[in-house]
Amino acid sequence: MPYLPDLFRLAMWLVRERAEAEDLVQETFTQALQSFHRYEKGTNCRAWLVTIMYHTNSKRRRAGSRLQLVYDSEERIAETVAYEAPTPQEITEEEVLRALRRLPPQYQGVVVLADVEDMAYQEIADALAIPVGTVMSRLHRGRKMLRAELAGYANARGIGGARLDEDAAASSSKQRGGKSDAVS
């Protein structure tokens, strides 16, 4: 094979491992034999083989970098997802509407169409003339902002975690016989 040493040297430079370089050269010659009917006589054969090698190497790298699915147990997946506390059920409709009105308009519209009107992502995207990815992003951020607003209302009424933390601090302080750090 006339250009084998040149192609092997180039393959070593591309992949840096002997076994992979040998595989790359072999795949290059296999592709060249399969595509030999495309080779034009009188052109640079070495350049043609190098082009095939670059394309073959590129395909191999792309195939190697594709996303691979990992199968994990539900418990392990649950550990990686951030916990977001549910919205308390004791909040009134007026408070929800007030919190919804406080969202920026671009998030407000998407949240209303998705959660109140029960529209699908594609329907929302068509209605607002925005990409589906933007709908998904705005819906996620809008819901997150809405939860934060509602948590503020809940905490003000003693429903959420801030009031409970103050009560726990006061009771543990009384058990030690000291004064509470909670503001009265």
Instruction: Please report which confidence band the pLDDT of residue 82 belongs to, taking 50, 70 and 90 as the band edges.
Output: low
Helix/strand number for the chain, H first, E second: 9, 0
Considering its fold, how many domains does the chain have in total? Answer: 2
Query: Does residue 6 have a pLDDT over 80?
Result: yes
pLDDT higher for 119 or 65?
119
pLDDT in tens, 148-159: 888 877 777 776
Rounded-to-integer distance, Cα 65 and Cα 99, Å: 44
Global pTM value: 0.41
In a domain, 54, yes or no: yes
Structure tokens at 168: 């726990």
Domain end marker among 40, 65, 90? 65
Is 106 domain-assigned? yes
**pLDDT at residue 164 above 60?**
no
Question: Can you give the residue range of the structural domain that contains 171?
Answer: 79-176
CA gap 18, 181 in Å, rounded? 69
Is residue 156 situated within a structural domain?
yes
Question: Could you tell me the CA-to-CA distances from 11 to 35, 78, 133 in Å, in that order?
Answer: 20, 44, 40
Same domain flag for 164 and 99: yes
CATH number at residue 161: 1.10.10.10
Q: What dihedral do alpha carbons 125, 129, 134, 135 form, nearest 10°?
A: -30
Does 73 reside within a domain? Answer: no
